Amino acid sequence: MKSIVITGASSGIGHATAEVFLDAGWRVGLIARRADRLDALADRYDTAVPLPADVTDPTAMAAAFDAFGQLDVLFNNAGLFGPTATIDAVDLDDWAQVMQVNIGGMFIAARLAFAKMRAQDPQGGRIINNGSLSAHVPRPNSVCYTTTKHAVTGLTKTLSLDGRPFGIACGQIDIGNAETDLLAQLKKTQPGTETMDVQNVARSVLHMAQLPAGANIQFMTVMATNMPYIGRG
């Protein structure tokens, strides 16, 4: 049975992706802070493994990865949008929180997954980072989020390069306007925003994860068809 750890698994893209992998017969490690939501998912699936942890807590994350065992794939998904404001109106504590979760948490999870995949027998695995269209072009007033998503692209490229000797592939999925609670908040300030079903994202992650070891989707963009990404100015 193939195995995957998903961070941010209690809601949104992480939760939807966990359900798709569980339905496909995978063993799924569920990482998030809200243990009750992870337990609710595990009550429905025998192959769901709740691993409650804060992605920014290295000790809790290490314990979660140790408890899960053999690992084929990490979906490095947890993140937050942060304040919607121009840079001069962003509080430094808010900036630090977004950096800590979106970059610090992703680094911690990738580090643990890389070490496990390098040491396990058979060696290797796959890391899929959740990027964003903001890794390419920003929304207005999104300096914290956009900065982190550009950094995720650097992490993806470095992991791809450093993972080659150990059979560790890394790819990035850049998502545009999947229907989640996070996007619902954004739509309040940007009415008329074009969206798509979050299931499209979940199935795309599954496709990336199911590729044979000799193939990798380095970057995938999945987005609402009519959102103004191409031609932004």
Q: What is the DSSP string of 114-153?
A: HHHHHHSSS--EEEEEE--GGGTSPPTTBHHHHHHHHHHH
Orientation angle between helical segments 143-163 and 92-99, nearest 10 degrees? 30
Tokens at 177, concatenated: 């306007």
What is the β-pairing status of strands 125-130 and 219-223? unpaired
CB 169 within 8 A of CB 163: yes
145 is catalytic: yes
Give CA–CA dist 18/44, Å, rounded: 12
Of the candidates 72, 128, 145, 159, the residue annotated as catalytic is: 145
Which residues participate in catalysis according to the annotation? 145
